């Protein structure tokens, strides 16, 4: 049986690297994509010789459009695409330059659209696309409005092309995590909205398990944690109820954030 080939953006650390490790453990070869060649090489070194690296910034859209063909030329085929690269500029919209906010949309939405379009004709029948969105794409969150909008767009795009690509026997799935304990929080944890920490924090491995479940079973969307996904759906359907719950959730989140910061400082 031919070895499967998976292309993973944001593959040098966090969720992307956790997905790569789990796929490699099953015998899949992986094409790791990230901006920094050094970190890609370090990631690939621990993947049993089953990883090849493709350094690029996903904001370079012509390079993204050419990427699937490069992977096929270098690795022989393409079966799985995982759009995981992400960018977030937290804080009030007016504290950021307009083009910095545009970079968030380019990274989180435009680049996955380009990659899906370029990859779809090359993905083997029975293959799949998994796009990593966010619970922030299910309900609006102040101080990360652009990030939430980009992830909402990614969810809508994924669901639309899921219907289009069914006849090609390509499944399209979305994984929508809540807060994840990776470097994506960045150094300035104070800028992370309190309400984010009102939900349980997942590990990169837990999100990777959801990605692999989508690869195996073709789920339309998996939210992690499951209960947080249901809460977001309820908040979307009933904004008034969410407004009533928000103050208590923010207080809970503020306490959890302080505890998280203290744990990080103690390490």
Chain segment 153-188, per-residue pLDDT in tens: 999 999 999 999 999 999 999 999 999 998 766 666
Q: What is the pLDDT of residue 117?
A: 98
Q: Is the dihedral of CA 185, 186, 187, 192 positive or negative?
A: negative
Active site residues: 147
Measure the CA–CA gap between 86 and 267, rounded to whole angstroms.
Answer: 26
Per the DSSP assignment, residues forming a β-bridge with 175 are 132, 222
Please provide residue 94's backbone torsions phi and psi, each rounded to the nearest 5 degrees: -75, -5
| Pair type for strands 29-34 and 5-9 | parallel
| Cα–Cα–Cα angle for 174, 198, 238, rounded to 5 degrees | 65
pLDDT for the residue numbered 185: 67
- Output the pLDDT for position 184: 60
Residue 131 backbone class (left: φ over 0; alpha: ψ -120 to 50; beta: rest):
beta
Taking the chain (267 residues) in runs of 10, the rounded mean pLDDT of each run is 92 97 98 97 97 98 98 98 96 96 98 98 98 95 94 98 97 97 71 91 97 98 96 92 91 92 81
Burial class (CB in 10 A: 0-12, 13-18, 19+), 181: middle
Q: What pLDDT, on the 0 to 100 scale, is given for residue 247? A: 92
Nearest to 180 by CA among 199, 195, 155: 199
128-132 and 80-83: which strand pairing?
A: parallel
CATH class of 5-266: alpha beta
Find all residues with CB under 8 Å of 59, minimum gap 6, and list them. Answer: 103, 106, 107, 111
H helices present in the chain, as ranges: 14-25, 37-45, 61-75, 98-105, 111-119, 145-165, 204-217, 226-237, 239-266
pLDDT, residue 12, reads: 97
Taking residue 2's Cβ as centre, other Cβ atoms within 10 Å add up to: 8
């Amino acid at each position: 049986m031919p070895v499967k080939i998976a292309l993973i953006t944001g593959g040098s650390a966090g969720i992307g690297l956790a997905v790569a490790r789990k796929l490699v453990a099953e015998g899949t070869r992986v094409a790791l994509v990230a901006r920094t060649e050094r970190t890609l090489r370090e990631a690939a070194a621990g993947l049993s010789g089953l990883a090849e690296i493709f350094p690029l910034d996903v904001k370079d859209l012509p390079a993204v459009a050419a990427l699937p063909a490069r992977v096929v030329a270098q690795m022989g085929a393409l079966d799985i695409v995982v759009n995981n690269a992400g960018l977030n500029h937290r804080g009030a919209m007016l504290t950021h330059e307009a083009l910095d906010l545009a970079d968030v949309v380019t990274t989180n939405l435009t680049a996955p659209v380009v990659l899906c379009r370029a990859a779809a004709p090359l993905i083997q029948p029975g293959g799949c696309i998994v796009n990593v969105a966010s619970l922030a794409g299910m309900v609006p969150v102040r101080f990360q409005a652009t990030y939430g909008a980009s992830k909402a767009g990614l969810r809508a795009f994924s669901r639309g092309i899921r219907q289009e690509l069914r006849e090609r026997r390509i499944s399209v799935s979305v994984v929508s995590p809540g807060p994840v304990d990776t470097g994506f929080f960045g150094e300035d944890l104070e800028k992370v909205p309190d309400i984010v920490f009102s939900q349980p924090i997942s590990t990169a491995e837990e999100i990777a398990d959801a990605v692999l479940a989508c690869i195996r079973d073709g789920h339309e969307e998996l939210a992690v944690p499951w209960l947080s996904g249901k809460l977001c759906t309820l908040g979307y359907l009933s904004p008034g109820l969410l407004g009533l719950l928000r103050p208590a959730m923010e207080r809970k989140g503020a306490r959890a954030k302080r505890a998280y910061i203290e744990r990080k400082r103690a390490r």
